[in-house]
Amino acid sequence: MRQEVYYKNYEEKPIKLSIITATWNVEKFLPRVIKNLQEQSDKDFEWIISDGASSDKTLEILKNTEGINIKIISGEDFGIYDALNKGIKACNGEFYLVIGADDELYPDAIKDYKDAIDGNVDIVTAYIDTTHDKSKPNSGARWIKAQFHYVSAHAVGSIYRTSLHKKFGYYSRKFPIAADQLFILTAAKYGVKIKTIQKVVGKFSDDGVSSIDTLGTICEFYRVQIAMGENKFLQTALFILRLIKNFRKM
């Protein structure tokens, strides 16, 4: 499978934080997220774009972007987690942050995350805004909330030590919607150090597949919980209740 790599304003050096974005035909979202990154108070980061061979103006816009160190990897992929895996393997950051092209980072987000990094921490999680509410870590019991027991969100709301993937593997293709849930729960199970900061770092968009594909999200949430050894009877009951609650959205 042919893959192209393009560098813009890029300097190859070890850094604290990489930002990774999976893209495919997202030209309408890019101007805002580019502006967010250009306006960060801490500009010492790299932006890795893992693009699924976009056919619109996505690549053209990125190649004309100034003021950000950008590495673009473009080629066909097998979905968002395959794209993120490519981005993780290409990044130079000690930690990485996932953001979608339709997400928003507030001006001090990079600074706040980097200030929280110390030698022992593996995951840093923060508060985020959503369309309807504010999301925070530790929002409920693990058997109900799964990864949200530990983090506010996978994208925007947390950063991850890149080397964790050497211990626990990359995002699984078996879960095209909830591979992040499996990874976070696996890392937590083995005792990685998770640090919470009481800063609101950005806004998570509800236009992604996990927000739109309600049935798929509920099913994968259930599958991951079972795979992680949660009580099957209890999880099945919760699965049925979620189906009933969200019936009108499916």
User: Are 226 and 134 in a shared domain?
Assistant: no
- Write out the residue range of the structural domain in which residue 232 sits: 213-250
Question: Do 228 and 126 share a structural domain?
Answer: no
Instruction: For Cα atoms 102, 245, 136, give the angle at the middle one, nearest 5 degrees.
Output: 45
Number of separate domains in the chain = 2
CATH number at residue 179: 3.90.550.10
Residues 175 and 245 in one domain: no
pLDDT tens by residue, the chain, 250 residues = 578 898 888 888 889 999 999 999 999 999 999 999 999 999 999 999 999 999 999 999 999 999 999 999 999 899 999 999 999 999 999 999 999 999 999 999 999 999 999 989 999 999 999 988 889 888 789 999 999 999 999 999 999 999 999 999 999 999 999 999 999 999 999 999 999 999 999 999 876 544 568 999 999 999 999 999 999 999 999 999 999 999 887 7
Tokens of 81: 């987690």
Q: Cα separations (Å) of 243 from 164, 176, 237? A: 34, 19, 10
- DSSP H or E segment with residue 20: strand 15-23
- Whether 19 and 82 share a structural domain: yes
pLDDT in tens, 81-135: 999 999 999 999 999 999 999 999 999 999 999 999 998 999 999 999 998 888 9
In this structure, the answer to whether residues 124 and 236 fall within a common structural domain is no
Residue 167 in 3-state DSSP?
A: helix
Q: In this structure, are 221 and 110 located in the same domain?
A: no
Whether residues 180 and 241 share a domain: the answer is no
| DSSP classification of residue 39 | T
